[in-house]
Every structure is written in C-alpha cells, then in structure tokens.
Amino acid sequence: MKYLSTAPWRWSFISAAVVWLIAIAVTHGNGAGAMLTSALAMATFIVIVGIGQMFVIALGPGNIDLSLPANIGLASAVAMTVMNGDNALVGLGLLAALGCGLMVGLANYLLIWALRIPPIIATLSASFIIQSIDISYGRGLQIKPPPAFADFANLQFLGVPVLAVLAVLLAAFAALVLQHTIYGRWVLAVGQNARAARFAGVKVGWTRAATYMLCGALGGIDGALLAGYFRGANVDIGNEYLLSSIAVVVIGGCSVAGGKANLPGIWGASLFLVLLLTMLNTFGVGAGVRLLLTGIIIVAAISVASDDRAREGA
Amino acid sequence: MIPPAGTTLHLRSLARALLPAFSLLVVLAGIAWLNPRSISYFGFSLMLNLAIPIVLATLAQMFVILGNDLDLSIGPFIGFATCVSATWLYDAPMAGAAILVCAVGAYAAMGALIHLRNLPSVVVTLGMGFVWQGLAILVLPQPGGQSPEWLASAMGVQPPFIPFPVLAAAVIALVVWFLLERTSYGVILRGSGGNPIAVRRAGWSLLKIKMTLFALAGLFGVLSGLSLVGLTTSADANIGNGYTLLGIAGVILGGGEFVGGRVSPIGAVVGALTLALAASPLLTFMNIPPDWQVGTNGAILIIVLTARVLVSRRQEAV
C-alpha cells in the first residue's frame, strides 16, 4: 500500500477515473461499460508507441523520436500491401511491418550517430523522407486488411479488447526488460549519465541503437494493428501519435530528463487521454472546442505532473 | 580536438558560415540549368511567392531555438493568425489587432510557464499546438475569409529591379541581424542560450529573457500569418501546419545549432529561401511529383548536415 500511495503513476489512473466518472455523469450512467471498452481499445494503440517513446526518452536529455507518425503510416501501408487481403499472409504482413519499423529505427540511429546531430533533428529529417515515401507508395492504396486480421484487431472478450490484454502483457514484459535485464539497466544508466555509463563499461552506442530500433519496431507493429482495427491503411493514420506518445510518457510520471521510467504510468496516462476525448465527446462539443480543451488539459497535466528536477528535454 | 592556431578556427568557422549560402547557390544553379528563363525578375517573384511567410516562420522558430527550446506549435499558431487576420482584422480592425497582440502575449506566457516549471518545451508547445488549432477552427470553421486591403496591397508591391520576396527577405534578415548581433540586449539573449547561469549571475532575469524570446517568436508568427493572408487573400485553420517543421529545418540549414544559442538570422533566412526554392520550383522543373516535396526537405537537411560534419572533420584534421 505504501508503494501505491507514493508511486509516481498513481495520478494518471486517478485522473483517468475522474474523467470517466464525469463522462458517465453526463450520460446518466448510459454506456459506461461500452465507453470503457472503446477507451481500452484506443488506449492500446497509444500504449504500444508510448512504451517505445518511453525507452527513447529514458536515454536522456534530447532523446526523442519524432518519426513515429510517419513510421506508423508507412508500416500500415506496407502491412496491408503484404497481407493483400489474404488471411494466410497475416503473419508475413506483421513481420513486414515489424521489419519496416526496425529499419526506420536503424535509419534514425545511423543519422544521429553519423551526423552527430541531436535526435530531434535526425528523427525529424528521417520522418520527412519516410512521409514522402509513404505518400508516394500509399497513394490510392485501397487494400482492406484480411478479414481474420481485422476481426482479431477488433476482438473482444467480455467487453475487454484482446489487443488491450496483449498490450498489458507487453507493458509487463517491458517493465521486466527495463528492471531485470542488462539492456534495461543500460538504458537507465545511459539516461542518468552517459559519460559515467561509458566508463562503467556500458556499450552506449549499442544501447542507443537498440532503443531507437525498439521504438521503431513498436511503431511498425502499431501501424499494422491500426490498419487492422480501422480496416484500412492511410497516410494520416499515425498523426495523433506524436503528441500522445510523448504526453503519456510525461503524464505517466517518467522523467523527461531520462534515466527514470515506469510502465504502469504509460497505461494510466493513455487511458486518461482517451477518456478525456470521450468525455469531451459526451459534452457534444465541436472540433474546435475539443482541440482547445485537449491542448489546455494536456499542458495543465504536464505542468502538474512534471517533477521540478526535470531538465530540458530538447 | 582544440585547433592549434587561430587560423584553423577561422577557416573552419568561415567554411561553416558559407555553407548555407553555398546550399542556396547549388539549388539556384540547379534551377538555372533546368529552366534558365526562371532566373528573372518575374521568375523569382513567382518561385518565391510563398517565401516571405516561410522566412518569418523560420525566424520565429529561431528565437525559440536561440534559448535552447523548440517550438512545435508555431505552425498552428500561424494558422490561427491567418484566421484572425482574414476575419476580425477585416471586419473590426481594432478588435482583430487586439486579439493578435493578446496572442503574442500568450506566447510570452508560454515561455514563462516553460521557464518557471522547468518543462520540456517540446511537450508544452505540442500541447499548445492543439490549443491554437482549436482556436483557429473556432474563429474560422471553414477555409475562407477575406484579406484586409492594405495587407493584400502591401504583399503585392512590385519594387524596381529586385523582386519583392528577395527584397523583403533581405530587409527582414538585416533587421533581425541588427537586433540580435548589434544591440546589447540581443547579446544577452544569445548569451542566455550559451551560458544561462553566467547570464543570471550577471544580474539578468532568465524569466524575462525567456519571455522576450517567446514573445518575439509570437510576433514573427503573427507577421508570418499576416503575410500569408496578404498573399493568398484568404485563410485556413490548417494552412500553417507545415511551417513548424519547415522553420526548424530552415534554422538548422542556416547554420543554427540546437544548443548553445548558436543561431544566425541571416543564415536562417538563407535556409528558408533554400527550402522554399527546393521544395517546389526545383522539383517541378525536375518533373518530380509533389509527393516528394517533404522528402526533399528532409534530404536537403541530411545532405547539408553531412557537409557540415565533413567540413568540421577536415578542419579538425588540419
């Protein structure tokens, strides 16, 4: 219990519960369960990329992956093309999306390493190019996902989306990797003090490369799953995941200064973001007000959640 | 790694300083080779039609980068400025001007928030981008509106000999250069990016400096929006979205760095012009579909950064 009352992520779950209760109050309790089901499904997609972004941000100040939206967009198109609507090719399509994401992550890291430029600029330039490849490659792409894959992405069991369960397992696995494997400890060590880590024998370069590739791979998988869930790929499918992937890391209680990360917070913050949108929708507000309030609440949440010792991330 | 003599450092910084101009020349040479007729008064007026808003957006981003921050909200902010300019500023000029002044004030407040709470600027500005986008949609739900006449005529000026966009870019570059490099507070502003602790110990308020930098970014964002409305004679809540990344790319192309307050106003303007020329006229002349417009910007960025690394390495080896 003591752990619970001091855990940095508790606020994200409390906030998520509060916005859910407000939304239910507005609808007089109608659709409370359905609201939670769809929130779980949508939060899953944020959690997957949020975990990737969390590992990258944990690498220390300045580390951030701005190429996630472009990566998701391209991977969704690649997955749909490879699957070609055929149930038998689902595995191959997922592998292709995974490989596509890994390549994006590798390209990001090579740019950072070879050009000695800040990750923001490297991932930004990479995302420009990926975006163009995607626009050019995915133009007019009208391939539907194989029925089995689309059904799987939308599958629910007693109101709980199967993908959400898998994402919980993924988060648990990521927590295990972070705390109990050499790689995870290296990520945190590099994030706390890259120089000290290097002297201590940590392979800093390899750790960074692996982390950017991990983030890229998670982005790729997310793209394929999104295309399955929404029954089709599209260039803009990943657009909202830049803000949300970064926001869940910060709101979830990870330090933007790096070297500190926690997985439950990613889930809490993702649920908070999704339920926030649900709440605004139940108010019946227009697109303008919804964007306005989302922005204000995110900035407010970050201002409150971020700890004072946080150093500049950019 | 320390250069042995002053000359090495000099050569190296000279080569670095000339890189932005060299990139622009390469792009211009490409255009001249592919379509010689475009190198003319009207050619430049057409090709650089939308360069002024890009230049102003780049300078807005430059002020933020100067303070070791990054502004991911400037694009939506410019969109918001166009929406206000094409509605309120047209219908009720005083109220419209007041809104734009408040918007600049909001930018300064955002700088204060980032400084006081020690927040990562990337996250705060990303969130504020949503706020500006939402406000823009509230002001102007559908693309449209009308440009105030004075604005359209100001952007339609045809000066003798030198095309308007070129002249305007030169004037803007010189003004900002003077402000940053030749005034005492400009030096303090740059110092805040290089060594904030020293600046604070010297008795300057870092809060005021941060607010000034963000207010300047807001001001140039508003100017960018105004020029955009003057050129397109209408507004759209999404019109500015591409300018966030274009601005960052322009600053970096112009020799700016992310940390240490090392930016160059003239370089940033040259960088913005390079991007404006490379992104559409050069591609059109090369028969490359507009799909690759963004990708070209990315490729140019990578090429120039590679060149920068090569220049630095060679000089280090000397």
Q: Give the CATH number, domain containing residue A222.
A: 1.10.3470
**Closest Cβ–Cβ partner in A135, A286, A313 for B122:** A313
* pLDDT tens for each residue of B166-175: 999 999 999 9
Indicate the pLDDT class of residue B298, thresholds 50, 70 and 90. confident
Two structure tokens written together for B117: 């709470």
Residue B297's alpha-carbon distances to B209, B251, B294, in angstroms, are: 32, 13, 5
A160: three-class secondary structure by DSSP? strand
Task: State what percent of residues in chain B have pLDDT above 90.
Answer: 42
* For residue B284, pLDDT beyond 80: no
Complex ipTM over 0.95: no
- Res A201: pLDDT: 87
Residues 224-283 of A with CB under 8 A from B: 242-243, 246-247, 250, 256
* For residue A57, pLDDT beyond 70: yes
- Res A311: pLDDT: 41
- Res B7: pLDDT: 58
Indicate the pLDDT class of residue A314, thresholds 50, 70 and 90. very low
Contact B76, B133 (CB under 8 A): yes
Structural domains for chain B:
6-317 (1.10.3470)
- Beta strands (DSSP E) in chain A are 156-157, 160-161
Which domain, by its residues, includes A130? 10-23+33-305
Our count of domains for chain A comes to 1
Task: State what percent of residues in chain A have pLDDT above 90.
Answer: 45
pTM: 0.86
A139 found inside a domain: yes
A207 found inside a domain: yes
| Contact assignment for B245 to A128 by CB distance below 8 Å | yes
Residues 15-44 of A with CB under 8 A from B: none
Q: Which whole number is the average pLDDT over B264-273?
A: 92
A312 found inside a domain: no
**Closest Cβ–Cβ partner in A121, A131, A247 for B252:** A121
Two structure tokens written together for A303: 């201002």
Name the region of B161 (left: φ>0; alpha: ψ -120 to 50; beta: rest).
left
| Contact assignment for A293 to B294 by CB distance below 8 Å | no
* For residue A146, pLDDT beyond 50: yes
- Across the A:B interface, residue pairs with CB atoms under 8 Å apart total 160
| Contact assignment for B118 to A299 by CB distance below 8 Å | no
A283 found inside a domain: yes
Contact B51, B272 (CB under 8 A): yes
A28 found inside a domain: no
| Contact assignment for B134 to A288 by CB distance below 8 Å | yes
Q: Which whole number is the average pLDDT over A24-35?
A: 83
Indicate the pLDDT class of residue B120, thresholds 50, 70 and 90. confident
| Contact assignment for B292 to A125 by CB distance below 8 Å | no
Select the residue from A292, A297, A304, A311 to test the B interface by mutation, using most B Cβ atoms within 10 A.
Answer: A292
d(CA A269, CA A254): 11
A4 found inside a domain: no
* For residue A149, pLDDT beyond 70: yes
- Res A223: pLDDT: 94
Angle, CA of A220, B133 and B193, to the nearest 5°: 80
* For residue A266, pLDDT beyond 70: yes
Q: Which whole number is the average pLDDT over A173-188?
A: 93
A5 found inside a domain: no
Indicate the pLDDT class of residue A307, thresholds 50, 70 and 90. low
Please provide the average confidence, as pLDDT, over all residues in chain B.
Answer: 87
CA distance B126 to chain A (A): 6
* pLDDT tens for each residue of B5-21: 555 667 777 777 788 88
Q: Which residues of A touch B258 (CB under 8 A)?
A: 62, 118, 120-121, 314
d(CA B58, CA B301): 14
* For residue B307, pLDDT beyond 80: yes
Residue identified by tokens 């300083």 is: B17
Two structure tokens written together for B25: 């020349």
Select the residue from B130, B238, B297 to test the A interface by mutation, using most A Cβ atoms within 10 A.
Answer: B130
Helix (H) or strand (E) holding B285: helix B283-285
A271 found inside a domain: yes
**Closest Cβ–Cβ partner in A115, A116, A247 for B123:** A247
Residue identified by tokens 């102007």 is: B140
Q: Which residues of A touch B248 (CB under 8 A)?
A: 121, 124
